[in-house]
């Protein structure tokens, strides 16, 4: 299987966001109020565990002690990608039993790795307006982390959104 994560993260000038959650959530823009499309439209490189080939996740997955298969998958993903992204959004469905146990754990796990992290719980009955405001706030944090990463790597003055930017 191709490694989509490498293609997604190849441009280091873009803010990078890991989404941890079930594929049916991050692939469904209606349930998640356009989570993934929102950040992609803003120029953010969005990566999920499903973008990483199993061969890259397998060793970490097998080393995780967890009851749920998704627990093992998400932890292996964060272990592999944690130092390559600028932030993490953990998503869950209000009505999903495993999410009720895993989401808080992964929020704290990502933060313990030094990542800014946010937890978003979706309910199929909720509207999207409140989520859009949260997405805007998260985008600001990601851009700041990207700028810090670029400064640490010695890259200054890159262009973003059609404007020259001094770093």
Q: Would you say 71 and 64 are in contact if contact means Cβ atoms under 8 Å apart?
A: yes
Instruction: Enumerate residues 6+ apart whose C-beta is below 8 A from 65.
Output: none
3-state SS assignment for residue 87: strand
pLDDT, position 165: 39
Round to whole Å and give the CA distance between 39 and 67: 31
Q: What letter does residue 163 receive in the DSSP assignment? A: E
pTM summary value: 0.80
State the Cα angle at 84 between 110 and 121, rounded to 5°: 35
Question: What is the pLDDT tens value at each position of the chain, 167 positions in all?
Answer: 679 999 999 999 999 999 999 888 888 777 777 889 999 999 999 999 999 999 999 999 999 998 889 999 999 999 999 999 999 999 988 777 777 789 999 999 999 999 999 999 887 655 565 677 788 888 998 999 999 998 988 875 544 443 343 33
């Amino acid at each position: 299987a191709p490694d989509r994560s490498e293609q997604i993260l190849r441009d280091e000038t873009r803010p990078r966001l890991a989404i941890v959650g079930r594929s049916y959530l991050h692939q469904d823009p209606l349930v998640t109020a356009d989570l993934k499309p929102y950040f992609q439209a803003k120029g953010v490189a969005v990566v999920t565990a499903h973008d990483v080939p199993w061969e890259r996740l397998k060793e970490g997955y097998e080393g995780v002690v967890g009851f749920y298969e998704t627990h093992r998958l998400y932890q292996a993903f964060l272990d592999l990608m944690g130092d390559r992204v600028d932030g993490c959004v953990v998503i869950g469905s209000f009505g999903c039993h495993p999410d009720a146990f895993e989401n808080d754990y992964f929020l704290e796990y990502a933060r313990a790795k030094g990542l800014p992290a946010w937890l978003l719980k979706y309910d199929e009955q909720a509207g999207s307006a409140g989520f859009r405001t949260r997405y805007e706030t998260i985008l600001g944090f990601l851009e700041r982390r990207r700028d810090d990463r670029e400064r640490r790597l010695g890259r200054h003055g890159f262009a973003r959104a059609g404007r020259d930017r001094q770093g």
